[in-house]
Amino acid sequence: MTLLLSGVIILGIAISFINISYQKDIYQGVIYETKDNYFLLNSGGERLYVYAKKHEHEIGDIVNIKGDKQKLNFTVLESDFDFTDYLNRKGVFHSFNVKEIKTSFANPIRIKSLQEKFLNKFNETEQSIIGAILFSKGEDSALRTTLDNLHLTRFLTATGLYIIGFAALLNYLLKIFLKDKTSEAISTLVVLIYSAFTFPRLAIIRVAAFQVLKWINKYLMNKKFTYLEMLSLLGTIFLLVDRYLARQDSFILGFSIPLVTYLIRDVCPENKLKSSLVKTFSIYL
């Protein structure tokens, strides 16, 4: 089963390099990702970058846009962030200069406004760091720049280590008062709710989905599947939903780190397992 799922993953990676492009007068699509000054639109399978300064659009909104489509072409300075490459890895190859935009359907759940209300409780520096880690926001500050230079925010957001650690700590505390089944169910539910508020953060979705899968396998299926099979199955499902995930850091790090940890922890002899690094990353399992 693992070999079959691995084959599907390899096929998904290959398909991710196929580009879909249309030429239309009016594009109708659903917004699947939003940032402060732009949003990403899926129109018939084609993904478009749409610049919109201080917009109020939310994920799930359906819009009709009229304008001109062109290939992405963002200027990159030496040692600067390559935004074009970043979007290409997400399957976005064209930008859209909007002349007219109409909203056909507005998602009634406005997650973006809830995030802003939460962040407004902190000062500017705290907003930058908390927003970057919890909600993947990109405000600038001296502290955020320092963390970016150390690649800490990128690593934390790509791997989801902070939410894994939180779930493990919460589960540990709950087990003091509750049965294992109940405590693990509660910690899993908390992660699921958080994933809804941070959608579409892949790292959080991966952690939440794997928490659910582990709970079902342990308590409803009597551990029918091994850890490696569950990891392969989850990776396959993710690639079937979005083939471009295979080119993103959050997918590569999120699945490779627990896989390597599993191989080291369960394949190597126990007396060789003395590395603090392995013990740290064992929290994935």
For 89-135, the pLDDT digits (tens) are: 888 888 888 888 888 888 888 777 777 787 788 877 777 777 766 66
Angle, helices 227-241/249-267, rounded to nearest 10 degrees: 170
Which DSSP state fits 178?
S
Residues shown for the chain: 285
| The pLDDT of residue 273 is above 70 | no
CB 245 within 8 A of CB 239: yes
- Mean pLDDT, residues 262-282 taken together: 55
For the entire predicted model, the pTM comes to 0.68
- Domain 26-105 class? mainly beta
- Mean pLDDT, residues 242-271 taken together: 72
Q: Which residues pair with 42 in a beta bridge?
A: 30, 47
pLDDT computed for residue 23 by the predictor: 67
The 10 Å Cβ neighbour count of residue 122 is 13
Exposed / middle / buried, residue 92 (Cβ in 10 Å: 0-12, 13-18, 19+): buried
- Mean pLDDT, residues 129-147 taken together: 56
Q: What is the dihedral of CA 120, 61, 41, 14, to 10 degrees?
A: 100
pLDDT tens profile 165-219: 888 889 889 999 999 899 999 999 999 988 887 777 788 888 899 999 999 999 9
Angle, helices 161-174/152-159, rounded to nearest 10 degrees: 60
Q: Which residues pair with 170 in a beta bridge?
A: none
pLDDT computed for residue 142 by the predictor: 44
| The pLDDT of residue 60 is above 80 | yes
What is the rounded CA–CA span in Å between residue 71 and residue 96? 9
pLDDT computed for residue 138 by the predictor: 56
The residue ranges of every structural domain in the chain are 26-105, 111-150, 157-284
pLDDT computed for residue 217 by the predictor: 92
